[in-house]
Amino acid sequence: MAQVTSSMPVAVRLSLSGLIALLGGLLLLAPRPGPVRAAEVPVVAAAADLQFALAEVAEAFSRATSLRVRLALGSSGNFTRQIIQGAPFEVFFSADEGYVRELAERSLTADNGRIYAIGRLVLYAPTGSPVQADPDMDDLAAAVADGRLRKLAIANPDHAPYGRAARAALTRKGLWEKLQGRLVFGENISQAAQFALSGTVEAGVIAQSLAISDRMARAGTFAVLHPSLYPPLRQKMVLLRGAGQTARRFYEYVQSEPARAAFERYGFALPTKAD
């Protein structure tokens, strides 16, 4: 804040002081985060692994209903913090059901949500990489030992579910400690995939839903990791408190057969009735 000089009239200095005091009082009286107000085009917070699949579902929803939603993509952990702080999202697609549970316990959701997909991890190797992609990461382990692998990309496990799953898989293979200093963390799984795509790393442990995209498929190879290597990525969606009718219709549409088929095309496993 600029300093008021002594040459400024006293009346002006008092006016500025009064204004500052008034603004401070208004901030103290500002309401705490509560239910969002429904928007004509609701904003949907979605885990970054849904970059392609959910975009396709949203387009199909728009064609079928003449209604639109706007997708915001990022890490599930960061979105959870933003929702707690009052961010104006109406639907949340998390890559980890635990985040939805946390929001429900805080009474920030309309219900407990529903599992919409089970995510899968892959080992991705860009074209020209000395690392071979295989379901058990055996060549990755050999590449760590013989020095062929200098950098490996994963999502940040502190707030990205796919990063936690990657850490679990690497730990199961006895590689996590050996890879310290060689890991490149993406803010979310989409950024980790970009690191792998760019060729600045020899390999990446990323989401199949991203690796299966045309661009990544043309630029490298991948192998779906054996599911025994990491805990299931049970991905859950939920309506947030205050969601409007468009958001509710989109939420229902995602449970339809055309939407489920789209998720399956992008490499997700579909939930069963037991889920």
**pLDDT band, very low/low/confident/very high, at 163 (cuts 50, 70, 90):** very high
Distances, alpha carbon 250 to alpha carbons 22, 64, 146, 237, in Å: 43, 11, 50, 11
Two domains, one topology: 43-118+233-265 and 121-224:
yes
- Tell me the pLDDT of the chain averaged across its residues: 88
Q: What is the mean pLDDT of residues 162-184?
A: 98
Pick the residue with more confidence: 256 or 4?
A: 256
Closest CA to 247 of 83, 36, 3: 36
Would the pLDDT of 31 be above 70? Answer: no
The DSSP-derived string for 198-224 is HTSSSEEEEEHHHHTSHHHHHHEEEEE
Pick the CATH number of 121-224 from 3.40.190.10, 3.40.50.2020, 3.60.15.10, 3.40.50.11540: 3.40.190.10
Residue 13 has pLDDT above 50, yes or no: no
**What is residue 275's predicted lDDT score, i.e. its pLDDT?**
67
Using a cut of 0.95, tell me whether the model's pTM lies above it: no
> What are the sequence ranges of the domains in the chain?
43-118+233-265, 121-224
Amino acid letter, 219: A
Q: Indicate the pLDDT class of residue 151, thresholds 50, 70 and 90.
A: very high
Range 8-18 average pLDDT? 37
Give the H or E element holding residue 78.
Answer: helix 76-84
Q: What is the mean pLDDT of residues 163-175?
A: 98
Contact between 216 and 193 under an 8 Å Cβ cutoff? The reply is yes
pLDDT digits (tens, 9 = 90+) for 60-119: 999 999 999 999 999 999 999 999 999 999 999 999 999 999 999 999 999 999 999 999
The pLDDT assigned to 272 comes to 81
- Grouping H, G, I as helix, E, B as strand and the rest as coil, residue 114 is strand
Which band of pLDDT confidence, cut at 50, 70 and 90, is reported for residue 172? very high
**Is 235 a residue whose pLDDT tops 90?**
yes
Count of CA atoms in the C-beta half-sphere (13 A) of 101: 7
Q: What fold is seen in the domain 43-118+233-265?
A: D-Maltodextrin-Binding Protein; domain 2 (3.40.190)
| Under 8 Å between Cβ of 233 and 161 | yes
Residue range 169-183: average pLDDT? Answer: 98
